[in-house]
Structure 1
Amino acid sequence: MKNFIQTQFHSLFHLFDTTDAPKTIREISGGISMRGYNLWILICSAMLASIGLDTNSTAVIIGAMLISPLMSPILGVGLGLAINDQDILLRSLRNLTIATVASLATSTVYFWVSPLSEPTAEELARTQPNLLDVMVALFGGVAGIVAGSRSEKTNAIPGVAIATALMPPVCTAGFGLAHGDWRIFGGAFYLFAINAVFISLATFAVAKYLRFPLKEYVNDTVRKRVRNFIYGALVVTLIPSIYFLYTVYKNNREKKIIETQVVNEITKRGNEVLKWEIHRELAPRQVKIYYSGEQLEEPQMEEFNKSLRLNNIPDYEIRLFRMNLSREEISEMSNEAVQNLLKTLNVNQRPDSTNRTQTNILKEIQALYPQVKQIGFGEVVFIGPKTDTISQVLLEVEKRPLPTADLNRLNNYLKIRLKKDTLLLRNL
């Protein structure tokens, strides 16, 4: 039975039968050089990756990863260490340095002249690497060297190039250099270092496991130096990634608690949460919640803060922004108008005097329509078979009156804001 299991295991996971070590060494060694056409392809790849990052285009970024020749010198470092080939090791390190500097220079120049100065989601996604990125690099590196060591052709190499994503973090680091943002530069370059170190480690481990032939005899002193070098590189690379993974876990845990203990509770009270966001960069850290419905008073605020303290996250300040708009009305506004409106809302609004309420309404209207200079409030008395009093709002607008469609939308908003069934809204 034991022999049967061993036979089945070998038939499923065998590697030695189809390994071609001389071919693998020859191909990796031949692709290390960053001169001539390889350097041209590298620069084109860096330019494509920069454009893809700048425009948030995943397809362009994938294309840049597929044509990038950065993988070869990284594989060469691991191979040189594994077979004790000093020539391959030194050439790989030299050409990896050239490739990294050329990629950084290309991306820095591009982002320096690019009119798009704000970091995109694709760039920000590469600034906080963690232990999971280590695992991606390690398993991607194993797949790369296993596929490359086969005597027959495989289709795994393009997938490895996409998974390990060597070029995008280098170009994101270039964005950080171009804009003097050392946080982005440090995070992105660290992700590139993770990929390089653990792809090299995977190459070293697989080459040792497959018993690639050593170029010369390795004595105990050299073996210890290689071992210490590898262990040192692992420790230096791993420690920050573990910290970043813990930070991601902690932030996700805090977000879940805030959602459960605060956001969902506001909804249960009959209000509608329109938007909420966490600002960890502020001091103190803040949770901003934009909602519509009944005013939340001080006892309810204290209850929310108490819940956060009981869940061991006392260092957040809850800030509530009450909006007299429904989700449907907000969806009809432009994104810019919504953002302007959110910025102008007062925090924790309390029952107010008439003048202050009217001032707030003016600010809210100007957030949507900056051309409105001032507003007037009054009552109109209609005399007839039935006497009726209707609230009236007059708008003084720069240049030309608001279009009818905007007036109708604003009229609906003001009726909700002023709690009126009927309202007259007119341009002056």
Structure 2
Amino acid sequence: MSEHLFAEGNPQPPDSGDEVKKGFMGLVGSVRKFLLELLEIRSNTDAAATKESIIADIPFKGHTSWILVCSIFIASVGLNANSTAVVIGAMLISPLMGPILGMGLSLAINDIDTLRRSFKNFTVMVVLSVITAFLFFYLFPLRDESSELLARTKPDIRDVLIAFFGGLALVIARAKKGTIASVIFGVAIATALMPPLCTVGFGLAIGKPWYAAGAMYLFIINTIFIGLATFLVIKYLRFPMVRYANSQRRRMIARAASITGIAVMIPAGFTFYQVFQESLFKKQANQFLKETIEVYQFNSAGRYVDNLTKLEYQEGDEPSLIELVCMGDELIPENVINTWRVQKNDYSRLKDAEFRILQGGKDDSEEKFNYVSELYEKNKAELLNKDEQIRLLEEEVATLTKNAGKQIPFESISAEAKANYSNIQKVGFSYQLQTDFKKLDTIPVFEVQWKSDANANQIQSDSRKLENWLKLRIQDSTLVVKEVN
């Protein structure tokens, strides 16, 4: 019957496939439009104000130089004392970010004069920072190799990502109409420009140049990728290029800026590639260790000391190194070690790596003592960190417990007050901080609004009674009742 009806001129049934396709395309279009509106930043960018604010932060003289010296001292003390909070404070006041943003901006907008000033001020800042940190650690009697210092000597792929995305967040925040200050502070902490420079001074002061080299490498990574992020964002936002009256000079400066930009990107790409390759090597090495030494069962007095495992990635002809340390009198059989060497070759990035095991019965007493000393120092730093964390947590718990004890059942108290005092119009409650500059107290405050037609004497009497009742009700003699209109 349906065929007969359609044959007589009734409309054809809709093609369900076409309808689904149209619906899907409409959904994709809606999602695309939503994402474009969500992620669009050009319309809310103030190019002129952003350029002006970045250029204003480039100069390094007078107040800025003293702020840098003070922040270097603070960071050095914090690193020496293994205090994360002090290091964070130093990073917040450091002015190092200004010239780096200036270099990225100048390359993006073809401003060679700003690039020259930025690079000059950046160089002066770095040199002054390293000299200040060197003098502090050289003259200061306590020069322990704290975990905060050692953490800045071995950058990895995460430092590259932090620097790049931190730089993106910073430039986007600076470009927004109404700069987001909290983002700027957060990036200053995350990218950590100050601590590596302090560690450079520390390494030079104690005669360990490899510490200084590792920390300077981390600082260069941060600098390059923050500058690269700045360059890319400014280009994306289409900031106006600097124009020159002399067309020949304009072309020359444009070429110089382009060459400089490419010269910056090449080491940035090489650094990312190198650190990425090292990260892949260590990932496979850790997986190899997890499947071999970490599952090996010692029969008696042997123990694998994972804290002293050495993974060294090398480029070129020199082989990478996987070195393990085992303590105790029990030795791992040679056939087991040979089996592990064969298993190592199953990993593409470990084939050419040297595999070495230092065991208790094979290394001399001096070498064993050095390993034990290093292990002790590492554990001591970890214990200091844990003790500090435990202390902070205990203080936080004590504060929360104290405040929890002060919480009141406001809903039931206000209902009781309304039942006892018919003239009450409104009741409010809050905690108020008070100090006599000797101690700080938290005072519970009730704000009461009485009916406008109530007798003044009655209100005064009820206020006294209400205050006495509330002190008894919540068992707090510091309570205060205030009248509001």
Gaps of 5+ in 1: 323-335, 344-428
1:308 aligns with 2:341: yes
What are the Cα deviations for residues 203-228 of structure 1, in whole angstroms up to 9, with x where unaligned?
Answer: 12111211112221585554343222
d(CA) in 1 for partners of 2:70 and 2:36? 43
Gaps of 5+ in 2: 1-25, 313-319, 346-352, 363-368, 377-485
d(CA) in 2 for partners of 1:174 and 1:46? 10
d(CA) in 2 for partners of 1:115 and 1:241? 38
Q: Which amino acid aligns with 2:230?
A: T
- Classify the secondary structure of the residue corresponding to 1:19: coil
Instruction: Give 2:266's aligned residue.
Output: 235
Tell me: CA distance 1:130–1:3, structure 2 relative to 1, closer, same or farther (3 Å).
Answer: same
In 2, are the aligned partners of 1:32 and 1:73 still within 8 Å (CA)? yes
Instruction: Give 1:78's aligned residue.
Output: 104
1:175 aligns with 2:202: yes
Tell me: CA distance 1:280–1:208, structure 2 relative to 1, closer, same or farther (3 Å).
Answer: closer
d(CA) in 2 for partners of 1:172 and 1:8? 46
Tell me: CA distance 1:255–1:3, structure 2 relative to 1, closer, same or farther (3 Å).
Answer: closer
- Of 31, 37, 43, which residue of structure 2 is paired with 1:17? 43
In 1, are the aligned partners of 2:110 and 2:253 still within 8 Å (CA)? no
Q: 1:60 Cα shift?
A: 1.1
Instruction: Give 1:109's aligned residue.
Output: 135
Q: 1:249 Cα shift?
A: 3.7
d(CA) in 2 for partners of 1:174 and 1:101? 10
In 2, are the aligned partners of 1:145 and 1:203 still within 8 Å (CA)? yes
What's the TM-score once normalised by structure 1's chain length?
0.67
Instruction: Give 2:224's aligned residue.
Output: 197
d(CA) in 1 for partners of 2:103 and 2:331? 63
Q: Quote the sequence identity (%).
A: 35
What's the TM-score once normalised by structure 2's chain length?
0.60
Larger deviation, residues 40-49 vs 87-96: 87-96
Q: 1:72 Cα shift?
A: 0.8
What are the Cα deviations for residues 376-403 of structure 1, in whole angstroms up to 9, with x where unaligned?
Answer: xxxxxxxxxxxxxxxxxxxxxxxxxxxx
Q: 1:339 Cα shift?
A: 4.5
Q: Which amino acid aligns with 1:106?
A: T
In 1, are the aligned partners of 2:163 and 2:191 still within 8 Å (CA)? yes
- Classify the secondary structure of the residue corresponding to 1:315: strand
1:262 aligns with 2:293: yes
- Classify the secondary structure of the residue corresponding to 2:178: coil
- Of 312, 327, 333, which residue of structure 2 is paired with 1:290? 327
d(CA) in 2 for partners of 1:204 and 1:234? 10
Tell me: CA distance 1:261–1:42, structure 2 relative to 1, closer, same or farther (3 Å).
Answer: same
d(CA) in 1 for partners of 2:252 and 2:116? 19
d(CA) in 2 for partners of 1:6 and 1:301? 62
d(CA) in 1 for partners of 2:272 and 2:70? 30
In 2, are the aligned partners of 1:112 and 1:179 still within 8 Å (CA)? yes
In 1, are the aligned partners of 2:166 and 2:191 still within 8 Å (CA)? yes
Number of residue equivalences: 322
Instruction: Give 2:124's aligned residue.
Output: 98
- Classify the secondary structure of the residue corresponding to 2:117: helix
d(CA) in 1 for partners of 2:310 and 2:168? 39
Q: 1:92 Cα shift?
A: 1.2
1:129 aligns with 2:151: no
Q: Which is higher, the Rg of structure 1 or of structure 2?
A: 2
- Classify the secondary structure of the residue corresponding to 1:16: coil
In 2, are the aligned partners of 1:47 and 1:106 still within 8 Å (CA)? yes
